[in-house]
Amino acid sequence: MPRVAIVTGGTSGIGRALSAALVRRGDRVVLTGTEDAAAVQVAEQLTASGPGAASAAALDVRDAAAVDALVADTAARYGRLDLLFNNAGVGIGGPVEELSLAHWDRAVDVNLRGVVHGVRAAYPVMVRQGHGHIVNTASAAGLLPNPGFAPYAMTKWGVVGLSLALRGEAAHRGVRVSVVCPGGVDTPMLDKGMPPDLPRVPTVEALDARTVITKLSGGRLYDPGALAADVLRGVDRDRAIIVAPRQARVAWRLMRLSPSLFMRLARLVAARDADLRSATGGAVPPSEPLGSTPSTD
């Protein structure tokens, strides 16, 4: 039987790749984006490739009432909701002294509260039906230290914590919860910069984000289609934390084994590259090395 899924932030990057992979499996996908026309176009393209089908919805995950309505409408239309991918996110970073309160608010409102809104809307539906799987997109930045990306990292650590806490609570209700923690992924977000309606961040504007993220990812960005395959495989296996690619898993394991060693190695990497030093607001002190990179969901 085809599954019914909602994917927020589904018009590009990781969200589009997830939506495409679900449609290829024969599922029914409701993908969302902040622009209705873009969402409709992507949904039509994916449906044409089949064998599943996609529909579109304009959604700002900061709007709790709108998220509630989307989940309720989807469950009513199809009679159930099997999967919710809380994937929408925004990349906010830069030296802390250059960031305004508006930068912090945007990161929290989209990356963290947006996930809360999805969970709050979908979890009761899944509890009532006795099954379902919530998949929250965090980042390797939610597992590793990330100077230079403080607002982003803060919210992604929060998403990891929320997901693991809910997983323990939801298990006896028949609902599964997973969190996705990718390293650097090749998505359009790398070329967009920060939201244009926020105050300028001079250090960030002086850097080429794609170059910096590529360096932080060991010289190669992960393909979003490959990540989508990893995620769906992890969902099928009910993994609590889905970390990809292999380099991100190695870094996570090293961090768990020896945080001090990980920090020393990361500091050495950052100290050798001018772009990485600039991305962290200057030379990285011994106790605060560079960690991972935003997942660019």
- Choosing from 78, 123, 152, 222, the catalytic residue is 152
CA distances from 19 to 25, 45, 109 (A): 10, 11, 23
- 179 CB burial (10 A radius; 0-12, 13-18, 19+): buried
Element of type H or E holding 75: helix 64-78
Q: What angle do CA 21, 159, 110 make, to 5 degrees?
A: 80
d(CA 7, CA 154): 23
Question: 3-27 burial, b if ≥16 CB within 10 A, otherwise e?
Answer: bbbbbbbbbbbbbbbbbbbbbbeeb
Catalytic annotation present for 78: no
Which two three-digit tokens encode residue 53? 């089908």
Q: How far apart are CA 220 and CA 218, in angstroms?
A: 6
Is 152 within 8 Å of 93 (Cβ atoms)?
yes
Residues with a catalytic annotation lie at 152
